Amino acid sequence: MIPARFDYEVADSPEHALELLGSREDAKLIAGGHSLVPAMKLRVARPALLVDIGRLDGLAGVRDAGEQLAIGALTRHAALARDPLLQEHCPIVSHAAGLIGDPQVRHRGTIGGSLAHGDPASDLPAVVLALGAEMVVRGKGGERVVPAADFFRGVFETAVGPGELLTEIRVPKLGTFAGWSYLKFRRRAQDWATVGVVAVLGRDNGDVKSAAVALVNMGGTPLRAAGTEAALVGGSSAADAAAGIADGTQPPSDPGASSEFRAHLARVVGRRAIEEALAR
Ligand code: FAD
């Protein structure tokens, strides 16, 4: 399919991007283009103006911000996968980024695009949700910081408003007592997750003191599995805690999997992810 006609401008700074974005009602940012262009080809998205932020190198890269790491929104998945700061302090982000799509997707797609797109089948949204990350969103009026728990609003809907730019994602340094895992079930190596489970566990002498378990493709947004988290902190085994992981979720039914199969997968993948996090 061929996209509808559109105009194209290249932003040379975040301020310029915001200015261009505000210049037309139906303007849209493009970063890696790996979610937006397919949507334009299907004519699900028909922006009249594309504002290209893909060359804003100042918004790419990872820096040490004390107890957090600050990830620029333009950092590409391949760069996340090999970043030494992430690998040392928050390796789950590198690991999950390395599981996205195929090499071409990882070399074009950006973390900001993945989060702002708000696809509940994407990997990084559930990872940042489990990590309790903070999103820095810039608009004409200045910057605001949105906790990941408030960021994902619905299918393809996030807290980023039409005239705003996601500039940075702040993730915590996990420390040596944290165990983590991200497992995704997919039919082919390069596919989106049929279901994915993130587990981040804080431990003390082998006891689980804190647990964050987040689900991919089990509802309209990435979800926390609160019952499973409470069970883990209460001393339940991985199998017992994962038994209720799909409770309260509304997994989609599509040609990839029925909602019943997704609930079953979440229990199996969830148990394995928790076991892996406990062992790591
Ligand atoms: P774009 O396509 O450029 O933009 C996506 C949306 O976000 C647009 O609405 C755009 O306006 C907005 N946007 C972009 N950047 C910003 C910003 N900084 N601030 C505000 N709004 C912004 N993803 C997975 O998670 N797992 C997979 O397994 C996976 N497999 C894929 C396989 C294929 C074949 C393809 C084509 C894509 C796949 N993806 C997968 C999606 C991929 O990760 C995308 O790159 C990503 O979701 C979007 O990032 P992008 O930079 O390409 O965003």
| Residues 26 and 118 both lie in one domain | no
Is residue 1, in this structure, part of any structural domain at all?
no
| Residues 221 and 145 both lie in one domain | no
| Residues 40 and 69 both lie in one domain | no
| Residues 46 and 99 both lie in one domain | no
3-state SS, 213-266, equals EEEECCCCCCEECHHHHHHHHCCCCHHHHHHCCCCCCCCCCECCECHHHHHHHH
Q: Whose CA is nearest to atom 36 of ligand 1?
A: 34
pLDDT at res. 190 = 87
Is the minimum distance from the CB of 35 to ligand 1 under 6 angstroms? yes
Is the minimum distance from the CB of 136 to ligand 1 under 6 angstroms? no
Map residue 192 onto helix, strand or coil.
Answer: coil
Number of separate domains in the chain = 3
Is the minimum distance from the CB of 158 to ligand 1 under 6 angstroms? no
Choosing from 109, 142, 171, the residue where a domain stops is: 171
The CATH number given to whatever domain includes residue 29 is 3.30.43.10
Do residues 129 and 120 touch, judged by C-beta distance below 8 A? Answer: no
CA 236 to chain centre: 28
As a whole number of angstroms, the distance between CA 228 and CA 6 comes to: 47
Of the chain, the end-to-end C-alpha distance in Å amounts to 46
| Residues 217 and 165 both lie in one domain | no
Rounded to the nearest whole angstrom, what is the distance from the C-alpha of residue 195 to the centroid of ligand 1? 18
| Residues 204 and 157 both lie in one domain | no
Rounded to the nearest whole angstrom, what is the distance from the C-alpha of residue 119 to the centroid of ligand 1? 9
Query: Which one, of 162, 165, 259, lies nearest residue 218 by Cα?
Result: 259
Mutate to test the pocket of ligand 1, among 21, 117, 152 (most ligand atoms within 8 A of CB): 117
| Residues 79 and 146 both lie in one domain | yes
Do residues 199 and 212 touch, judged by C-beta distance below 8 A? Answer: yes
Do residues 78 and 36 touch, judged by C-beta distance below 8 A? Answer: no
Question: Could you give the C-alpha distances from 72 to 64, 145, 148, 242, 270, in angstroms and in order?
Answer: 12, 14, 16, 34, 30
Is residue 163, in this structure, part of any structural domain at all?
yes
Q: Whose CA is nearest to atom 9 of ligand 1?
A: 117
Q: Looking up tokens 């599981």, which residue turns up?
A: 99
| Residues 167 and 196 both lie in one domain | no
| Residues 238 and 146 both lie in one domain | no
Is the minimum distance from the CB of 76 to ligand 1 under 6 angstroms? no
Is residue 2, in this structure, part of any structural domain at all?
no
Is the minimum distance from the CB of 221 to ligand 1 under 6 angstroms? no
Rounded to the nearest whole angstrom, what is the distance from the C-alpha of residue 96 to the centroid of ligand 1? 14
pLDDT of the chain, 280 residues: tens digit per residue: 899 999 999 999 999 999 999 999 899 999 999 999 999 999 999 999 999 999 999 999 999 999 999 999 999 999 999 999 999 999 999 999 999 999 999 999 999 999 999 999 999 999 999 999 999 999 999 999 999 999 999 999 999 999 999 999 999 999 878 999 999 999 998 899 999 999 999 998 889 999 999 999 999 999 999 999 999 999 999 999 999 999 999 999 999 999 999 999 999 999 999 999 999 8
Is the minimum distance from the CB of 146 to ligand 1 under 6 angstroms? no
| Residues 48 and 67 both lie in one domain | no
| Residues 197 and 165 both lie in one domain | no
Is residue 33, in this structure, part of any structural domain at all?
yes
pLDDT at res. 176 = 78
Is residue 57, in this structure, part of any structural domain at all?
no
The CATH number given to whatever domain includes residue 272 is 3.30.390.50
Is the minimum distance from the CB of 27 to ligand 1 under 6 angstroms? no
| Residues 66 and 162 both lie in one domain | yes
Q: Whose CA is nearest to atom 17 of ligand 1?
A: 166
Mutate to test the pocket of ligand 1, among 105, 137, 169 (most ligand atoms within 8 A of CB): 105
The CATH number given to whatever domain includes residue 129 is 3.30.465.10
Mutate to test the pocket of ligand 1, among 28, 35, 195 (most ligand atoms within 8 A of CB): 35
Phi, psi of 38, deg, nearest 5:
-55, -40
Choosing from 143, 171, 199, the residue where a domain stops is: 171
Choosing from 117, 138, 171, the residue where a domain stops is: 171
Range of the domain at 139: 62-171
